[in-house]
Chain A
Amino acid sequence: ELWKGEEKMSIVPKETIEVIAQSIGITNLSPEAALMLAPDVEYRVREIMQEAIKCMRHSKRTTLTASDVDGALNLRNLEPIYGFGSGGPIRFRKAIGHRDLFYTDDREVDFKDVIEAPLPKAPLDTEIVCHWLAIEGVQPAIPENAPLEVIRAPAENQIYQQKDGPLIDIRLPVKHVLSKELQLYFQKIAELTMSKSNPSLFKEALVSLASDSGLHPLVPYFTNFIADEVSRGLNDFLLLFNLMHVVRSLLQNPHIHIEPYLHQLMPSVVTCLVSRKLGNRFADNHWDLRDFTANLVALICKRFGNTYVTLQSRLTKTLVNALLDPKKALTQHYGAIQGLAALGHNVVRLLVLSNLEPYLSLLEPELDAEKQKNQMKSYEAWRVYGALLRAAGLCIHDRLKIFPNLPSPSPSLLNKGKGKVINTEPNKRKLSVDSSENRSPRKRLIATDGSDGGPSPMQVDRPTGDANPPQNSVHPSSSEQASGGNAPESRNAKENQGSKGRTITRKAILDQIWKDDLDSGRLLVKLHQLYGDRILPFIPSTEMSLFL
């Protein structure tokens, strides 16, 4: 037991000493001697390792190699251990059946194999390659440098800190260092945006803005720039248009985290949508700008609506306020309508259509060429009317489209028709032109849908007959009746079609959307009252056939 205890004295066991002694020819080593030697061997090994670590440090390495041990032996005036001079790390193998026993794989090599083997390649000679690790404190994103970590938006960091750190959030003023390249880039973009003289170059700049990585540090500058220029340049139509293009490009750029700057950006964008005056009232086509911006707003809401929950609600509030304020100019109303329309059909249904009747009654006098002598005003009124019509029309179209069992015309065709309507609509000034133009796409739709059978002749006839009552402004009571009559009719139609053996499952869906259907029917009738024929192009032909 005593022996066993003393074996632990050193990490070098007695047996090792005995084995080594045997290997160098000492056979009669007494166990006591082996025991005495073991601690000393351990001490010497530690001493060598200490020196080897020094050699490793002076060779500017953090992994110990065999050459370091040789160096340490050299420092102690000892013969180095030969045979490990390859410089690379030694590969150890685990001895099978032992947990902590390793050995170097030292295989016997056949001379013949070595001699016959092809000459190994000469090792590559040492070279120096040079690159910029940093330029004025900023690491350029070149392949020689380590890949940069994803640049985190500062806002995210703050949120993170607030979650983890103490309650008191100390924000040190952060100096934003911008590299020379980025400064130049920014200048160039700003110049191009302001100059308006070189549209092709500006287009390329927009592409660059929309696609280049590494622009993130510039985002706050662009945001500032846009805000400044929009507030300053409300009379400069082209500038505003350019600025909105810049905004769109920035939004499109996948490498930019624009969220933290949205709150700064939104006022400028909304300004370009609902400002009273954007550029010259007569000469510039500010309608286009408003349309463009409306799409932009929709894009922003779509992308960031999830992260910024209040974004859309705040926006719609602004727009509805602009729309319902009778003191605001018609141009502002137009912008608000376009903006709301771009936000989707639900927004239109909830916010625009609910206010449609009173609004149209307000608009009515402006539309009348006799009452409104100012031609500009009346033009604007017609624009607003057109926008409203389009919004309502698209809304109802969308509503009706969801009825699954009605075979609607192929989407491409529908779109084509629709597109044409939208394009032509804003340009028409007179009712007569409007209706005649409206009729033509509808007829085309009907023609293609003619194969459906029965209802088509009715369609052709009906509109002419029906076209009049809305203009004469139908009484509310009759509209109630009409809707009441309309709903069962459509229901019957559907049931008929269902029984025609389309699918039975659809019936269930049908039941579910029954109420919606009913609402839509009412809506349709109401719209028809308000708009008359002009709403018709938005209604899918089959649906219209039922309605009519």
Chain B
Amino acid sequence: MDPEQVDEFVMGYLKKKGFNSAAKHLQESLHNNNGSTFSSIDYHNDPELNKLIRSFSQSENDPSRYREGYSKLRSWGYNSLDLYKHELVRVMYPVFIHCYMDLVGKGHTQEARSFFNSFRKDHEMVHLRDLQKLGGVLAPSHLQEMEFARSLRQSKINIKICQYSYDLLLQYLHRTESTLMLGIINEHINFQVYSGQPNSASDDIEAVTIVGSFHETADHVNQKEIHWGLLEDSLEDRLEKTGGLLSDSEKGQGESKAGDMDDSKKRSAEIGKQGSSIKKLKKDKAGTATTKVARQETSTVLSSMPRVKPELAMPVMSTDVEESILEDLRNRVQLSSVAMPSVSFYTFVNTHNGLNSSSISHDGSLVAGGFSDSSIKVWDMAKIGQAGSCGLQDENNQTVGLNGRRNYTLLVGHSGPVYSATFSPPGDYVLSSSADTTIRLWSTKLNANLVCYKGHNHTVWDAQFSPFGHYFASCSHDRTARIWSMDRMQPLRMMAGHLSDVDCVQWHPNCNYIATGSSDKTVRLWDVQTGECVRIFIGHRSMVLSLAMSPDGRYMASGDEDGTIMMWDLSTARCITPLMGHNSCVWTLSYSGEGSLLASGSADCTVKLWDVSSSTKLTKAEEKNGNSNRLRSLRTFPTKSTPVHALRFSRRNLLFAAGAISKPSS
């Protein structure tokens, strides 16, 4: 290093550190002493000083410091005491991503990449998806542009660490004088030091998602009060009130059974199997046997739940609709871990890869499909059953339908792929959402489009009617969820807060809340009246695809891209337990009528039934023990290579499932 360079460097250093007067002084003295070999401090000829300066200048610019520092810290962390290792290793990930982003930010793209590639394996297991995103960050401008990176840069990550681990870490950093690592840790990590023994490695899922100062907000948000009780004067309540009448009118039940059997005949006819009608009859018989006892149980359970007032003006239900619902509730088959439901499966054939979504009406008689060619098709299964019984002879010619016409209703109006098509609770309307940013309301009676709701700025991924109809919620790529009523063209509420696409939406049974699942790997609960976020559920490791609320309003299940299902307690925002079993996207979830079973449908071509009643009971008992409980997978029903797109428990607890058969590609 020649003297000129040294001078330059010292100047730069002084300026950078803000020692302006010193810099000025140096410059002056340099200027004055130009040509002379003497200065106030002869740092050119002092070998010690020269060395120091050299090392300084190197360290300022040398990107390999990051690699060195990090790999030292890493090997120290992995060789630390077993008891504290998992806490120390947890520190590695933020250090790693910030080292990488520092390198990128300073323009050392090549080093950044090689650094990233050499250590990414360590974190792939837990943070794969984040790493995939960050892997694309290659220029300083990307850091600014990419929201994920920006939020990481701007906020601190909270890490809970026990006192001893913390001391260990500090000791190490000071002893090795790894100022760079210390700097990064100081800058980006917020340690929450607690006394006592370290937590076990498994029980904090929170370590998984780190999106900025999320946890603080989440903790703050989750303090808010929510009322998860059912609505006053709900149909269940009414059923209970009329319960006295019911128990002596068992004949009425018998009659209703007859109706049910007619229904079953239709269905069995379309299946075209002789045995099935007998099966169904038997099933019904078995159903009646258990219903009576069971209903008393459920009613007592439900009546013990708190009641809340509706915050929205509820639509008035017509008496005959109410009657039919009450009738269904009376005839509900009680399900439990020993009394399994029957599953009726609707398989879409010849979809040519075009079926984006499907849904089943509450009574299972209507099936809607949203297609990528912008069309919606609605099948009336009851009609198909009838037609099938009189025209079995031309079953070879399935495509032409039985009267030479297609046997579905085609609804055309959207101008982009339809991503959802769902039924109103009585089945008289279909709500569809599309990539053309609109939501459309269709009448199944008139087979016509009634309203086109415009408001979202991007593709609308999902739209769902409230449990009582009239209101509906939608969610979109524009990161908002919106509440609408059928009679207004504009949304009533807008819920903003998710950090990425809002992928699915679901109403709380009391209509006062909606839950949204997002690509930011969180689920949020929003108050419909105020539009505020009242809960943030953190724990998923990938995009949330499906949501379901338990009928008692206390629990929520969410399914993600990896096949994990999480059961949440709404009041505490804690995950009761993850349900592991699926190995691919969980497209759909559905609670049985009384909330004892959860059905999940997945891209791995199975329908799984989970016993969630035991957990509910267990949690109450275990609140004292603090144990994490186990939810059981009860059954797995594999389909013949048909991913399960939609599930619906009818009010009578018959499970309907739908999916498009996929031929394994050759």
Residues of A within 8 A of B (CB): 5-6, 8-10, 39-40, 42-43, 46-47, 50, 54, 57-63, 65, 67, 71, 74-75, 87-89, 123-140, 142, 144-146, 175, 177, 180-181, 184
Q: Are A135 and B348 in contact (CB under 8 A)?
A: no
Q: Are B587 and A60 in contact (CB under 8 A)?
A: yes
Chain A's nearest CB lies how many Å from the CB of B661?
A: 9
Q: By CB atoms of chain B within 10 A, which of A6, A39, A123 has the most?
A: A39
Bound-complex Cα distance A67 to B417 (A): 10
Check B340 for interface membership: any CB of A closer than 8 A.
yes
Q: Write out, one digit per residue, whether chain B residues 628-666 have a CB within 8 A of any chain A CB (1) or not (0).
A: 000000110111110101000000000001101000010
Check B488 for interface membership: any CB of A closer than 8 A.
no
Q: Are A61 and B110 in contact (CB under 8 A)?
A: no
Q: Are A39 and B139 in contact (CB under 8 A)?
A: yes
Q: Are A75 and B477 in contact (CB under 8 A)?
A: yes
Q: Are B353 and A137 in contact (CB under 8 A)?
A: no
Q: Are B352 and A123 in contact (CB under 8 A)?
A: yes
Chain B's nearest CB lies how many Å from the CB of A283?
A: 42
Bound-complex Cα distance A146 to B638 (A): 6
Q: Are B283 and A180 in contact (CB under 8 A)?
A: yes
Q: Given A43-B142, A133-B637, A135-B279, do A60 and B344 touch, yes or no (CB 8 Å)?
A: no
* Chain A residues with CB under 8 A of B340: 134, 136-138, 177
Chain B interface residue count, CB cutoff 8 Å, equals 92
**Residue of B with least CB distance to A8:** B110
Q: Are B133 and A126 in contact (CB under 8 A)?
A: no
Q: Are A46 and B276 in contact (CB under 8 A)?
A: no
Check B338 for interface membership: any CB of A closer than 8 A.
yes
Listed stretches B16-24, B67-75, B377-385, B424-432; interface member: B377-385
Which of A39, A47, A50 meets B109, CB within 8 Å?
A39
Q: Are B543 and A130 in contact (CB under 8 A)?
A: no
CB-based closest 9 A-B pairs: A137-B340, A39-B138, A46-B136, A133-B343, A180-B282, A133-B345, A124-B350, A134-B343, A146-B638
* Chain B residues with CB under 8 A of A67: 372
Q: Are B399 and A124 in contact (CB under 8 A)?
A: yes
Check B325 for interface membership: any CB of A closer than 8 A.
no
Check B545 for interface membership: any CB of A closer than 8 A.
yes
Considering only residues 347-403 of chain B, those with a C-beta below 8 Å from chain A are 347-357, 367, 369, 371-372, 377, 379, 381, 384-385, 398-399
Q: Are B640 and A42 in contact (CB under 8 A)?
A: no
* Chain A residues with CB under 8 A of B109: 6, 9-10, 39
Check B454 for interface membership: any CB of A closer than 8 A.
no
Q: Are B283 and A126 in contact (CB under 8 A)?
A: no
Bound-complex Cα distance A225 to B515 (A): 54
Bound-complex Cα distance A524 to B226 (A): 98
Check B466 for interface membership: any CB of A closer than 8 A.
no
Check B584 for interface membership: any CB of A closer than 8 A.
yes
Which of B278, B371, B381, B461 meets A128, CB within 8 Å?
B381
Which of B113, B338, B353, B435 meets A61, CB within 8 Å?
B353
Q: Are B137 and A62 in contact (CB under 8 A)?
A: no
Which of A61, A128, A134, A146 meets B640, CB within 8 Å?
A146
Q: Given A8-B113, A123-B352, do A144 and B640 touch, yes or no (CB 8 Å)?
A: yes
Bound-complex Cα distance A393 to B352 (A): 75
Which of B136, B349, B354 meets A47, CB within 8 Å?
B136
Check B594 for interface membership: any CB of A closer than 8 A.
no
* Chain B residues with CB under 8 A of A125: 350, 399, 406
* Chain A residues with CB under 8 A of B350: 123-127
Q: List 29 A-B contacts (CB under 8 A).
A: A9-B109, A10-B109, A39-B109, A43-B137, A58-B419, A59-B372, A60-B587, A74-B435, A75-B477, A126-B355, A127-B407, A128-B367, A128-B384, A128-B658, A131-B271, A131-B347, A132-B344, A133-B637, A133-B657, A134-B341, A136-B339, A136-B341, A137-B634, A144-B347, A145-B638, A146-B641, A177-B338, A177-B340, A181-B279
Q: By CB atoms of chain B within 10 A, which of A58, A71, A129 has the most?
A: A58
Bound-complex Cα distance A54 to B501 (A): 9
* Chain B residues with CB under 8 A of A139: 637
**Residue of B with least CB distance to A77:** B458
Q: Are A62 and B585 in contact (CB under 8 A)?
A: yes
Q: Are B519 and A54 in contact (CB under 8 A)?
A: yes
